[in-house]
Structure 1
């Protein structure tokens, strides 16, 4: 296992390159997308849009927005990628079939800030509830996942002949033919169909919605962690708090005006970013001479590859809120400021090309993380046994 000093030396080198390289290179990189300007695809029960590796340099993850009207049904479907989604507005009901688990069918009502996680290829369906339906942001652990290409019950049945469909559904051939004809006539409109309007289970107690602990549901209003002294914080969920989410984790990040999620990287996960509201500056550093800086706003997305240095800074006048999703169930993060605190000031000065006094002036406790206290006098460091 590599020592913390080894990583600290790497951190010095990374910061040095970042400060020297600027953000003019990396023109071929596209780690942000103005997703807010992408047109919606409209269906009877709602609308949908997706972003994949065909439109940005996201090598391992994809994303989507779907808005369901009250009674709008995202039909029963499944896909090869795990799905981590958060309700941004309104209410909905989701059902997933998880064969062989404690709750083979897990059905629950979701409200704003609730999250679901569905493992690959488990069939699931979502319906918008009264009074306003819902807006959901979904992220997938695959760069080319697009729900429009997901396998679905209607899509499969449409490929069957009448006799096979009759056997599969357990109905007479005549009934099967009528059902197939109706389904085929609907075509892609069944992607988000319009069904009867339903209420929240709390307002309609007779509904057979599970009252046990939800397996695939988690509320991101829990687990609040400060990320700065200015009121910035993060609400996160990983496998430790949301056991069903074994392959993905996520968070809501709040940045106060002028607040910043400081320079950091994730050693074991890519990061998918979605701006709920506010205006932020994002920076991604991937290699010497390869870094980008961009400004994104509500509805836009960003991506930071595993191990890449990155940050998010609120440059607006109001608090900014972002959804962050990671393609690993275990959340880990390394802050540059934290590791620089483990390096003797003389090393830091040499690595960054600055004076020792300037190295000592750096705040090593950014984002509330523990680090070395600033030592203004060399004598203090000598008494503590540190070599300069």
Structure 2
């Protein structure tokens, strides 16, 4: 054998014994999911919008992933894959997607729900997402719980009866609300041309849409002789009654309300509906807020809500709610929320359209629009008669300057003075516009 061949064999043998070299699956060095990537400020990353695959690495920590993965879920929840360095401790889950809820499919309709069974932290409120096609009826029924609703798309007709025998009929469109107090009978029907989809909120996390009191179910479990006596008609007439609940079913197409009003119609003194999106919004530097509670929707005694339009890159300021848990629902866009639970515990969650979020009362949090080019629209909902929150910004500005500086910047008076000038107006900016970055910050980040 030639000496050159022997050298080649020796080289191959040495290579076989050497430790294998494994490359991290990073597309480019500048990826925010590179072990060498430094971000001391934990900036947001819109992995879903930017098409980036998150990995549990950065700031010199972590490594890549080798096992089975759900990459779509990872892109939807980047702050679970690589949490901010400020996250700490253990916290119950505060996020659920309606996409993970079981759907009950009926005739030209469907319904799905998020309750304490799907999301254990949803203890104060439960949510139901329902779709009724044109003419489809959610049959006459009532609940132990009060029902609040927001129309997501389309048009729907509602009917209701009050405790004095007064009746109510109204047609609602996108952005409108209704509220039925506990025990008040009502119905829903999708209108032309394509029906409606809406979010129902019930003032108990243990609610189940399957446990409502339904007209056909009641009559199917009542002797025909009793029904006959009640309506003063022969019992044989009631052989045609449904044998079980109808729940949601295709009905005839309704005409104008004026043509369908019963002969003995007595208009209710109660206003069961409200045009939320027609309210004049509170304009902030980074978006718009509309608040609806018992002060402007009097009948809504157990549910208060805020509708948020958060501009690209903007954030709902740091705040907390003293009177109720927050039950939020994302209508469009993507959000990042960090929940501070005291005792050093904090955890960050990411949300997309159709997701439900929980923030227990008094826990500090913010809502950040993850996208820099798409708006974020969502609802904040509370089991309360009034909307209440505390602004961190306002708190700082209305606290004596000396006390604020001693708390936060005791050892750096110069920075303390800059902070005080920023907050001394004490004016809460509910949704803050993106802060312009100066050249020094860009240089530091690079």
Structure 2-normalised TM-score?
0.70
Give 1:312 shift. 1.1
Distance 1:150 1:87, change over 3 A: same
Q: Measure, in 1, the Cα distance between the counterparts of 2:414 and 2:117.
A: 48
In 2, Cα distance between equivalents of 1:326 and 1:194? 33
Partner residue, 2:116:
53
Specify the alignment match of 1:14 in structure 2.
none
**Shift in CA distance, 46/160, structure 1 to aligned 2, threshold 3 Å:** same
Q: Deviations over 1:220-267 (max 9, x none)?
A: 12333335313x011121111111112222121000011111111112
Q: Is 1:32 the counterpart of 2:95 in the alignment?
A: yes
Deviations 1:337-376 (A, max 9, x none): 110112344433443466333333333257537xxxxxxx
The secondary structure found in structure 2 opposite 1:283 is strand
1:126-154: per-residue Cα shift (whole Å, max 9, x none)? 00001010011011111111221111111
The correspondence of residues 234-383 of structure 1 with structure 2, limited to 5 A, is 234-316=289-371, 317-352=373-408, 355-362=412-419, 363-364=422-423, 367-368=428-429
Distance 1:53 1:34 in 2: 13
Aligned length: 337
For residues 293-351 of structure 1, the C-alpha deviation after alignment (integer angstroms, 9 at most, x for no partner) is 11111111112222221221111221110022121121221101110112344433443
Distance in 2 (CA, whole Å) between partners of 1:171 and 1:305 is 54
The aligned runs of 1:1-388 (5 Å cut-off) are 22-27=86-91, 29-56=92-119, 57-100=121-164, 104-179=166-241, 183-184=242-243, 187-188=244-245, 190-199=246-255, 201=257, 205-208=258-261, 215-226=271-282, 228-230=284-286, 232-316=287-371, 317-352=373-408, 355-362=412-419, 363-364=422-423, 367-368=428-429
CA contact (8 A) 1:276 1:321 kept: yes
Q: 1:44 to 1:216 in 2, by over 3 A?
A: same
Q: Is the 8 A contact 2:333 2:353 kept in 1?
A: yes
Offset at residue 176 of structure 1 (A)? 1.9
Q: Distance in 2 between matches of 1:114 and 1:62?
A: 19
* Cα distance between partner residues in 2 of 1:70 and 1:118: 23
1:271–1:200 distance in 2 versus 1, CA, 3 Å = farther
Higher relative contact order (CA 8 A, sep 6+): 1
**Does the C-alpha gap of structure 1 residues 300 and 345 become closer, same or farther in structure 2, counting only changes over 3 Å?**
same
Alignment deviations for residues 107-128 of structure 1 (CA, whole Å, 9 cap, x no partner)? 1111111101111111111000
* SS of the residue 1:165 aligns to: helix
- Whole-Å separation in 2 of the counterparts to 1:368 and 1:289: 27
Classify the secondary structure of the residue corresponding to 2:277.
coil
Q: State how far apart, in whole Å, the 2-side matches of 1:192 and 1:358 are.
A: 62
Distance apart, 1:61 and its partner CA: 0.8
SS in 2 for 1:167: helix
Structure 2 residue runs of 5 or longer lacking an equivalent are 1-83, 431-446
SS of corresponding position for 2:117: coil
The two structures have a TM-score, normalised by structure 1, of 0.80
CA distance in 1, matches of 2:157, 2:98: 26
Partner of 1:42: helix, strand, or coil? Answer: strand
Task: Provide the C-alpha distance between the structure 1 equivalents of 2:88 and 2:283, rounded to a whole number of angstroms.
Answer: 29
Per-residue deviation, 1:208: 2.4
Q: CA deviation at 1:30?
A: 1.7
Conserved? CA contact 1:45–1:71, under 8 Å: no
